[in-house]
Structure 1
Amino acid sequence: MVRNILITAGGTSEKIDEVRVISNFSSGRLGLTVANSFLESNKIQIGKIYYLCDRNTIVPEDSRVEVVRVAGVSGLLDELTRLLTTEKIDAVIHAMAVSDYMVKQVTTVGAIRSGQEAAPLFSGGEGKISSQIEDLAILLTRTPKVIGEIKKLDRNTILVGFKLLSNVEKPVLIDTALKLLHQNQCDMVLANDLSDITEDQHVGYLLKPDGNYDCYSTKKQIAQAIVEEVGTLLAEKEAEQ
């Protein structure tokens, strides 16, 4: 059976103005490796991979890949909603490092101190803020939790989540990832710690709902394991029908 996979990859960029953004250091290489592993798989016949990413993220080059560039968390949610409600998506690999905050408004420290922050210097991301301002202040607000919307949009799709922490003990990492899994109805979650990621190494723990997990040490191993597990779940679902 031909399968359609949706992959989110890289980081998100939240606009400050027309030339400035708040972003993160995610390169999107793990998402790219996962996409290529799906394309190379002998277990899953790929019809299309919808690849959602920021404009600066590296992307796979294959005729079966449809690259969908998104602008910020709101743009990501819009495209996820569109695809999950109009297309048959067999699995979502949510590898994107989604920003926890977006710009609410831009003002100055002086305006805040004087109680005038309700009258923003700048909002909406239109135009360019002057570089002559000495006490620029950016007010942030929380972004929606994207992973929590995926199963609401399509309860039948397989969902692979990702949890990245930094310099924590392994039990904390595993426990945090397991909570993410259960809270968002994920079928599996890849837990990893920034301190265990280098140019040649990427330690990751692929967790199942029962708390069991396998450990991998490179992006390639992680990607192949995800493809293998997704293929197994798809085969089980097909057998039940």
Structure 2
Amino acid sequence: MVRNILITAGGTSEKIDEVRVISNFATGKLGLAVAKAFLENESMEIGKIYYLCDKSTHAPSHEKVEVVRVSGTQGLLDALKQILSENKIDAVIHSMAVSDYSVRGVTTLEEIQNNGGEVHPGFIEGKISSDIDDLVILLKRTPKVIGEIKKLQEGSLLVGFKLLTNVEKKVLIDTACRLLEKNRCDFVLANDLTQIEGDKHIGYLISADGEYETFSTKQQIAEGIVNSIDEKLRERSHGL
């Protein structure tokens, strides 16, 4: 059976002005590895991979891959809504590091003081002057994209990702399990930033029953995700 896959990868960039953004350190390497693993898997026939990423993120080049460049969290959400409403997607691999905040507006410390401590942020057209000594950027929470995916297409398998920094393994696993349950994920890949360096990438692929597999490289993680998706889809096909 032909399978359609959607992968989000890399990080998001939230616009401050025409030349500046708020971003993160996500590289998109794991998303690339997952896309490659799907394309090289011999037991799964891939129809199309929709690959959603920021304009600065490296994307795969393949006839079965449609690269969709998105701008910011809202741009990602808009693209997901369009693709999931118009196409049958068998699995969504949501590896993108989505910003928790976007820019509500900017002001200066001087303006706040002149307004008696009140904050009235606005957007700047063009480029903010580099002569400003105390620029104030007001941020607002972004939508939780992962929570919308199953609402948009109930039948898609969903792989979420949870990244923490320098925590005990139990804390990491428990946090990832809560993410899985809250967002109705089928799997969550839990990892700790302190365990990612070069070729080393420790990851725990947790399934809905709380069991997990441990991997030590991006390639292993990618192959583990693809194999788990393949097995789950085969179970569905046989009514198990």
Q: TM-score range with shorter-chain normalisation?
A: over 0.9
Aligned ranges for residues 1-241 of structure 1 at < 5 Å?
A: 1-113=1-113, 114-118=116-120, 120=121, 122-123=122-123, 126-240=125-239
Report which of the two has the higher share of strand: 2
Q: TM-score, normalised by structure 1?
A: 0.96
How far is the alpha carbon of 1:2 from its aligned partner?
A: 0.7
Amino acid in structure 1 at the alignment position of 2:89: I
Q: Does the Cα contact within 8 Å between 1:94 and 1:160 map onto a contact in 2?
A: yes
Aligned counterparts of 1:237 and 1:213: Cα–Cα separation in 2: 20
Aligned counterparts of 2:199 and 2:221: Cα–Cα separation in 1: 13
Other structure's SS at 2:18 match: coil
Aligned counterparts of 2:100 and 2:155: Cα–Cα separation in 1: 27
How far is the alpha carbon of 1:116 from its aligned partner?
A: 4.1
Aligned counterparts of 1:116 and 1:129: Cα–Cα separation in 2: 21
Q: Deviations over 1:27-83 (max 9, x none)?
A: 000000000000000121000000000001011111100000000000000000000
TM-align CA RMSD: 1.1
Moved over 2 A (4+): 110-116
Aligned counterparts of 1:181 and 1:188: Cα–Cα separation in 2: 7
Other structure's SS at 1:84 match: helix
> Percent same amino acid at aligned positions?
63
How far is the alpha carbon of 1:103 from its aligned partner?
A: 0.3
Other structure's SS at 2:7 match: strand
Amino acid in structure 1 at the alignment position of 2:93: I
Q: Deviations over 1:6-45 (max 9, x none)?
A: 0000000000001000000000000000000000001210
How far is the alpha carbon of 1:168 from its aligned partner?
A: 0.4
Aligned counterparts of 1:33 and 1:41: Cα–Cα separation in 2: 12
